[in-house]
Structure 1
C-alpha cells in the first residue's frame, strides 16, 4: 500500500469508520475523532495485530519501552499507534502501562534479561531486544537501574547520546542465523524490513517499518541503471516486498524466507529469485544512507 492525499495509509494513520485520530480530521471520514491517550509498552514484546484477536495476522511488534497513543480500548485489546514508526494496530491491553518518560538509553546487545533486582541469580522478568528504549536513572553495581524499578545488565545498554553504533552493516551481521519471522521485530525473530529498521535505530536513525515505506523515505535515492551503477557497502536495495543491505558491491545480508534466517547471499541470487516470484519485477529502488565507503 502507499500513502496519498486522498487515502492516508491505514498502517500509518489511525482511522476506522467509527473512530479516527484528531489529527486526521478533514482528511478522513469517521463518526468520531479523538486525541487518544499516551501509554507505554511494559512487556518484552507486544504483538501488534490487524484485528483485536490473538488469531489475527501479525503486522509488527512493539518493543519494551516504546511510547504509543491509545485511541480505543475494549475487551482486553487496545487500538494504538506506535510513536517510534507510526504503525497502527491492536495490542493486548496487558502489554500497556502508563506514560513513559523520555528514554536515555537503548538495549545494545542483541537481547538482554530484565531483572527485578541487580542480581544475575534473580529470576528474569523478561528478555528485551536490541534497540528497546530504556529510561536509566542510576546504576547498582553491574546493572542499570530503570525508572520502573527494574534492572538491565549495564554493559548491554548504550546511551542515546554517546552509544550509537554508526556502522549499521556491522550490526546487521550480528543477526546472522536469527530466524526469519513475518512481522517479527526483535532479535528473537524478524523480517527483512525490521532488520534494517533495528540496525538503523542503533545508528541513531529512526526509519519507518515496512519495505515499501522505507523504499520511499530512507536516506537518499540512488540514480541507478541495471548493470551500470556500482553499489557500495551499506546501500539498501528494495524489491517488491523485500529489501537487503549491501555488504559490498556483490553480497548482501538480509532476513529472508528462503533460508528462513538472516543470511548472506549474492545480490544476483536474491534478484533472480525475486524476479521469478514476482512475475518479472526485480530491483525497484536503491537508497543510500552512508556517504562514504
Structure 2
C-alpha cells in the first residue's frame, strides 16, 4: 500500500481511522468520536507528551475526531484542515451545537459580565467559532458563558474579501513554530488564517499550501510578474507579496509577523538558508 501523509491521515501501526481501512494496515481501526475544542487555543503536538513541540493549534469551536484517549491525552484529527496530532483531553467537550459567529478581530477578550470595567477571563483567537445567545449593549453573550464585544465578531458565513488586509492586521504577532493565533504563529498559519477569513480553505503546512492553494504562477525572478496577494514559497516557508517594497511573512529572523522589501527577503533566504523561491501561487 502507498505511504500516506501521516500529518493528514490518522494511522499508526497499532491504530488507524476506520475510513482508511482499505488504504493502510493497522492492528485496530476505530470510527472515532466527534468533539469540540472548548478552550480558546489548544495545543496540537506530534507526540503524546505535554510540553513537547507543537505541530499546530486547535481553536475554540473547532471540531475534531478523537481516535484514542489515554492519560489525559487525545489523539485527534481536525475537521477544519485535517491535521492529525495529540491534544489535551481537557480541552475538548461534546457540545456540538452549531456556532453562530466567528471571531474576526485578531483576538478578543472574554468577560464575566457586559460592562467595560469587568476583568478579562480569557482570550479568544481569530477564527474561533462561538454560539451567541443574545446581546446587551456592545456585548454578545456566549452559550458557554461569558461576554465578548460584538464588534470583534462576524456572523457565520460572513467573510472578508482581502486576505492581504487580514494578514496585515497580524503584523507584530510573535513567531511561534506551530502556533496559529495572534499570540504566536508561524508562516503557514498566517496564510491559513488570512485565507480562512476570506472563505478560502487552506491546508496547514507550507508544502501542502504550495501544492494545493490557488493556481501556479510562472516566476523566474522578475518581480514584475508578481501581484498583490500572491503567495511566494521556499522549501519550508511561505509569505504574502504585497508590493515590491512590502513582503509580509511570519519569520524567525524577526521572530514576528513583519514586512520587508521582497528582494531583501529573497537575498536573505538564499544566503542564510541556501534556498531559492520554489513556487508562486495566485488565488
TM-score with structure 1 setting the length: 0.91
Residue number in structure 2 paired with 1:106 = 102
SS at structure 2 position matched to 1:244 = strand
Q: 1:116 to 1:206 in 2, by over 3 A?
A: farther
Residue number in structure 1 paired with 2:277 = 283
The CA distance in 1 between the partners of 2:82 and 2:117, in whole Å, is 38
SS at structure 2 position matched to 1:263 = strand
The CA distance in 1 between the partners of 2:108 and 2:206, in whole Å, is 27
SS at structure 1 position matched to 2:250 = strand
Residue number in structure 1 paired with 2:80 = 84
Answer whether contact 1:160 1:204 (CA < 8 A) is retained. no
Q: Give CA deviations for 1:123-148 in whole Å, capped at 9, x if unaligned.
A: 43310111111222322322222232
The CA distance in 2 between the partners of 1:240 and 1:276, in whole Å, is 14
Of residues 111, 115, 120 in structure 2, which corresponds to 1:115?
111
Alpha-carbon RMSD across the aligned residues, in angstroms, is 1.6
The CA distance in 1 between the partners of 2:171 and 2:145, in whole Å, is 33
The CA distance in 1 between the partners of 2:223 and 2:252, in whole Å, is 28
Answer whether contact 1:43 1:126 (CA < 8 A) is retained. no
Answer whether contact 1:47 1:58 (CA < 8 A) is retained. yes
TM-score with structure 2 setting the length: 0.95
Q: Is 1:57 matched up with 2:53?
A: yes
Counterpart mapping for 1:189-200 below 5 A: 189-200=184-195
TM-superposed CA distance for 1:214, in Å, is 0.5
The CA distance in 1 between the partners of 2:95 and 2:266, in whole Å, is 44
TM-superposed CA distance for 1:228, in Å, is 7.0
Q: Is 1:94 matched up with 2:112?
A: no
Q: Is 1:6 matched up with 2:28?
A: no
Answer whether contact 2:44 2:54 (CA < 8 A) is retained. yes
SS at structure 1 position matched to 2:200 = coil
Q: Is 1:180 matched up with 2:184?
A: no
Answer whether contact 1:63 1:129 (CA < 8 A) is retained. yes
The CA distance in 1 between the partners of 2:112 and 2:239, in whole Å, is 38
The CA distance in 2 between the partners of 1:96 and 1:90, in whole Å, is 12
Q: Is 1:146 matched up with 2:146?
A: no
The CA distance in 1 between the partners of 2:260 and 2:81, in whole Å, is 28
The answer for unaligned runs of 5 or more in structure 2 is none
User: Quick check: 147-156 or 10-19, which moved more?
Assistant: 147-156
Of residues 124, 130, 133 in structure 2, which corresponds to 1:137?
133
Residue number in structure 2 paired with 1:233 = 228
Counterpart mapping for 1:243-262 below 5 A: 243-262=238-257
Q: Is 1:74 matched up with 2:70?
A: yes
The CA distance in 2 between the partners of 1:228 and 1:146, in whole Å, is 47
Answer whether contact 1:64 1:133 (CA < 8 A) is retained. yes
The CA distance in 1 between the partners of 2:133 and 2:282, in whole Å, is 36
Answer whether contact 1:67 1:99 (CA < 8 A) is retained. no
TM-superposed CA distance for 1:170, in Å, is 1.1
SS at structure 2 position matched to 1:246 = strand
